[in-house]
A = this chain, B = another copy of it.
Amino acid sequence: MPAYKAPLRDTRFLLNEVLDYPAHYGALAAGAEATPDVVEAILGECARLCEDVIAPLYHSGDEEGCHWENGEVRTPQGFKEAYQAFVEGGWQGLSHPVEYGGQGLPMSLGAIKQEMLGTANWPFAMYPGLSLGAMNTLMMHGSDEQKATYLPPLTEGRWAGTMCLTEPQCGTDLGQVKTRAEANADGSYALTGTKIFISSGEHDLTENIIHIVLARLPDAPKGTRGISLFIVPKFLVDADGSLGARNCVTCGALEKKMGIKASATCVMNFDAATGYLVGPPNQGLECMFTFMNSARIGTAIQGVATAELAYQGALAYARERRSMRALSGTKEPQQVADALLHHGDVRRMLLVQKAVAEGGRMLVYLAAQYADRMIEGILAGDSAKQAHWDDKLGFLTPILKGCLTELGLEAANLGMQVYGGHGYIREHGMEQIVRDARIATLYEGTTGIQALDLLGRKVLLMTRGKAVRQFTGDIAALAWTLLKEEPGMRGKALTLLRLCAQWNWLTLRIALIARKQRDLVGTASHDFLMYAGYVTLAYSWALQERAARQRMRDGGLESLDFYQAKLATSDFYFSRLLPRAKAHAAAMLSPAEKIMELPAEHFAFD
């Protein structure tokens, strides 16, 4: 069973030595309270909560799962108490406004909290995580009255929230949403329809659940332009804020899933349930998608969490399990065999996990800085600032969500692989990580949807390639600095420059071909996404290696081992994982016709 230990040394390195969070917070209005002392205290307290209270429920929650009876859902043993501890610690409102009872700290600290929480126990973390989506939506689009009614108990964590999008006939293609909302005389609406795959749709952790629901008004246009957003509380809320009548929204069933079994995935039936319109009619999708990037970064975190937890589990086993002798000669003569850690291929697997976990973590923290600045733009009403950082965040989002969840799954599978046959046995807990990780490439937009979002929307449609030029501009700037200042990184700097040029060239080629052959955007998108991911991780590792080298020169000798391990992992990434970008570069320009012209009926023959 992997016992979670928060990787605080790495988090501190990334915050303080790579991304200069102190300066970032210093320049941020919402960052005034996020002094180094406060940040350090939050990291320590959060780690303690996650290690001691939340992680111990990870495996038992999977074994027990959630229970459904007559529409009521009971979470696994211990979840209620752990959630209570989470609420009492004030963790739910960490990054939300003081006026609603939050701590008013930057969004990025919330992301770091979610990472620890999610690594300790992803299915548990989904309950407060989904609430954040509802809170953000209300904060952005709710009326003052709606905010006053719902945000304080949500911020406290006394209530929870959900996002009700998917229906049986559609997930990706929300234009097919059928749930109807008909006006009541009192200005509320009666919602009728069925939603599926609703995470935290029903549970026993909170006294009320606030559903944010996509539905159609009677006169709504067809497709995506006819969808509106509604609040549907489980219990209606009286004028004084106390709970009123039970609303006609019920959990009809729990989905039986491959994993995240402790997270209640609900079929939700709305039978003329009372709802309240949020934002303008027919603009529900736009409202819902305001925080789409943040939600997707939240899922990217699952990739990092998965890689980290699988790494911790595999490393512990590789140290204690003994099998065969090392190829270069016996390493532990007093033992019956050498530890797995002395075998090259086991080290390779561990280093893949480490490179993904630490490389991905830095990218999440970088994206979180972008989110901080975007939110500052929103709060200051500075739409240019908001747009600038939203664009930067929007470009990184599909790359992180798409690639980190795919690589997180790979890392989870490697965790099983290190255990050999024992990895397949439930009691060791490694297979649970794989099952839980498997959802990450599916929800919040599949990898294929991220790929289309990146190439089709963010790169070609919205920016005509400028997004790539800008991001590779950042990478190239780093590479030129490295060429000047880090002779030990000359090879990596040249590699980065070559990749920047190649990425732009590939983008241009696709743009040109896609003018005539639109399908290329679809057939190339996956390889484009993964290529982008490997280059972006190379950027992460170059930044980390540079910081480690600087610190070693500046006399950071108290952490010499740590920095040397960073250099070794960076070397590993560049020599062992980055070459995969070659394969994706070679594949993406392959003519779309070859894929698209195969008649549908020729995919199989009797």
Contacts and interface: CB of A to CB of B under 8 A. Distances in A.
A572 B596 contact: no
A347 B590 contact: no
Interface in A161-207: 166, 169-173, 175-176, 197
Interface string A124-156: 000000000000000000000000000000000
A438 B426 contact: no
A594 interface: yes
A579 B583 contact: yes
B345 A434 contact: no
A562 interface: yes
B596 A347 contact: yes
Interface stretch (A20-28, A386-394, A521-529): A521-529
A512 interface: no
A530 B151 CA distance: 53
Contacts of A577: 587
B417 A448 contact: yes
A319 interface: yes
B324 A173 contact: yes
Copies in the complex: 2
A525 B258 contact: no
Contacts of A522: 326-327, 343-345
A396 B574 CA distance: 31
B424 A595 contact: no
Contact of A438 (B256, B343, B416): B416
A85 interface: no
A207 B456 CA distance: 62
Interface stretch (A99-107, A366-374, A598-606): A598-606
B166 A448 contact: no
A245 interface: no
A575 B587 contact: yes
Contacts of A328: 517-519, 596
B173 A565 contact: no
A323 B456 contact: no
A48 B546 CA distance: 63
A605 B456 contact: no
A524 B166 CA distance: 45
A477 interface: no
Contacts of A451: 345
Contacts of A602: 561-562, 564-565, 568
A421 B572 CA distance: 34
Given A176-B336, A442-B421, A598-B565, A327 B572 contact: no
A223 to B, nearest CB: 10
Contact of A519 (B344, B421, B426, B605): B344
A425 B600 contact: no
B606 A172 contact: no
B345 A315 contact: no
Contacts of A52: none
A345 B583 contact: no
Given A256-B427, A426-B258, A521-B344, A575 B590 contact: yes
Contacts of A427: 256
A393 B289 CA distance: 56
B595 A586 contact: no
Contacts of A452: 345
A551 interface: no
A431 interface: yes
Interface stretch (A276-284, A348-356, A486-494, A498-506): A348-356
A257 B596 contact: no
Given A564-B602, A575-B587, A575-B594, 11 more contacts: A7-B604, A169-B336, A257-B425, A312-B604, A315-B603, A327-B518, A341-B600, A347-B595, A420-B442, A435-B435, A582-B582
14 contacts: A9-B605, A257-B431, A327-B456, A328-B518, A342-B600, A345-B523, A351-B598, A420-B442, A424-B438, A565-B598, A568-B594, A572-B594, A576-B587, A582-B586
A-B pairs, top 4 by smallest CB distance, nearest first, are A344-B522, A579-B586, A344-B523, A575-B590
